[in-house]
């Protein structure tokens, strides 16, 4: 699905030098590379504070901890997302309330969000799924009316930009109270191990997050709150500094591949290509199609025999998962997610796709679909 080796080859000399530099410096934890990366990412995102941490799941957990929510408080998120989003809500003994998604963008259905709000609702976690921003204009409006915190899960959409009706453009992850992301190797800004970060424009929330990632410490050896140990290591930060400089060109390469796919499938009635939201740019973390009139697992098998990776993101709705299901969540309330889990498939999407590869992939898909 990704070509991390091909991408590395192109920046190998820079990366190797940076990694060796950290090893020679012995500043393995919270070294200057981490500080510099933090500053550079703040500048890139146009956000006041970036708090690096160990991974994207921790970032979500720390963000929710920083908001001071209490057990039993309800947190609304999407039924169609990676499990981490709902997992951390449950781990903190908050109550996850899942809502269905929009059939075109796969992002949270704002009408369903509105209906799910109760007096116990304290936060909403919109997920910018597959690389495109959720309907933030509406989500922020509804959240403000009901005094609900907005925590954006930006693990799949770092670098996407959202333009509000008043013309203001903001980076994904910087619109709500807190944003979080992941630097998992296959993410759009991926390191060579695990990593994550929290973004906020709020000085107070930033200070609380910085304390939580470091065992809840305030003044040295004075623990003000319960925290965790969650750090981005210096080697990963050094790698991320280099890759951040390429992030926009990486997004452009992904968009070019996406356009090739779009054109190749444009006249195929059995395949629905990704819908582009007017207000958001798309950074194509995944290129996800909706199939109709064929079994997506059969297509996946066909592609595997041709040496083409194909993934089903996601095959099982979260509301049906043993870990998360509750009697309150009714299967019929998740019509769109249920249908998507039976019809979506994602094709290889990365920065190194060649026209030849794209041609072979699209021809192989059409060969199966049209047979």
Q: List residues near ligand PLP by CB under 6 A.
A: 55-57, 81-82, 84-85, 127, 153, 155-156, 182, 184, 194, 196
Question: 126 or 369, CB closer to ligand PLP?
Answer: 126
Contact (Cβ atoms closer than 8 angstroms) between residue 247 and residue 192: no
Q: Where are the alpha helices (DSSP H) in 284-354?
A: 296-305, 335-341
Q: How far is the CB of 316 from ligand PLP (least distance, A)?
A: 15
Three-class DSSP category at 344: strand
Question: 81 or 288, CB closer to ligand PLP?
Answer: 81
Question: 176 or 365, CB closer to ligand PLP?
Answer: 176
Q: How far is the CB of 87 from ligand PLP (least distance, A)?
A: 9
Question: 127 or 258, CB closer to ligand PLP?
Answer: 127
Q: How far is the CB of 356 from ligand PLP (least distance, A)?
A: 29
Length of the chain: 371
- Which residue is it, tokens 């064929």? 294
Q: How far is the CB of 219 from ligand PLP (least distance, A)?
A: 30
Contact (Cβ atoms closer than 8 angstroms) between residue 106 and residue 287: no
Rounded to whole angstroms, the Cα distance separating 124 from 99 reads: 10
Three-class DSSP category at 217: strand
Rounded to whole angstroms, the Cα distance separating 15 from 242 reads: 7
Question: 314 or 334, CB closer to ligand PLP?
Answer: 314
Q: How far is the CB of 69 from ligand PLP (least distance, A)?
A: 18
Contact (Cβ atoms closer than 8 angstroms) between residue 299 and residue 345: yes
Question: 41 or 365, CB closer to ligand PLP?
Answer: 41
Rounded to whole angstroms, the Cα distance separating 235 from 23 reads: 8
Q: How far is the CB of 197 from ligand PLP (least distance, A)?
A: 10
Strand partners, 149: 123
């Amino acid at each position: 699905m990704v070509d991390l080796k091909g991408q590395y080859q192109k920046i190998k000399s820079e990366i190797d030098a940076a990694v060796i530099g950290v090893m020679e410096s012995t500043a393995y934890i919270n070294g200057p590379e981490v500080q510099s990366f933090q500053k550079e990412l703040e500048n890139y995102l146009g956000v006041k504070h970036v708090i690096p941490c160990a991974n994207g799941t921790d970032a979500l957990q720390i963000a929710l901890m920083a908001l001071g929510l209490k057990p039993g408080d309800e947190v609304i998120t999407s039924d169609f997302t990676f499990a981490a989003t709902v997992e951390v809500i449950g781990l903190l003994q908050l109550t996850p309330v899942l809502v269905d998604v929009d059939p075109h963008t796969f992002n949270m259905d704002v009408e369903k969000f509105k209906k799910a709000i109760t007096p116990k609702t304290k936060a909403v976690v919109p997920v910018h799924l597959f690389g495109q921003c959720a309907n933030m204009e509406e989500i922020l409006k509804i959240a403000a009316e009901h005094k609900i915190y907005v925590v954006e899960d930006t693990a799949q959409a770092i670098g996407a930009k959202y333009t509000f009706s008043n013309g203001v453009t903001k980076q994904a992850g910087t619109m709500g109270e807190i944003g979080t992301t992941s630097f998992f190797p296959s993410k759009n800004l991926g390191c060579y191990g695990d990593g994550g970060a929290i973004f906020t424009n709020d000085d107070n929330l930033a200070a609380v997050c910085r304390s939580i990632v470091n065992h809840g410490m305030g003044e040295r050896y004075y623990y003000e709150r319960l925290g965790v140990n969650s750090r981005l290591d210096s080697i990963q930060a050094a790698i991320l500094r280099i890759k951040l400089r390429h992030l926009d060109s990486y997004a452009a390469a992904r968009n070019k591949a996406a356009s090739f796919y779009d054109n190749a499938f444009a006249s195929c009635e059995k395949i629905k290509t990704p819908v582009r939201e007017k207000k958001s740019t798309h950074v194509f973390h995944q290129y996800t199609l909706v199939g109709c009139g064929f079994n997506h697992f059969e297509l996946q098998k066909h592609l595997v025999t041709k040496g083409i990776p194909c993934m089903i993101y996601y095959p099982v709705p979260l509301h049906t998962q043993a870990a998360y299901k509750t009697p309150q969540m009714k299967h019929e309330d998740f019509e769109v997610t249920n249908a998507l889990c039976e019809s979506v498939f994602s094709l290889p999407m990365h920065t190194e796709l060649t026209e030849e590869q794209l041609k072979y992939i699209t021809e192989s898909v059409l060969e199966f679909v049209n047979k």
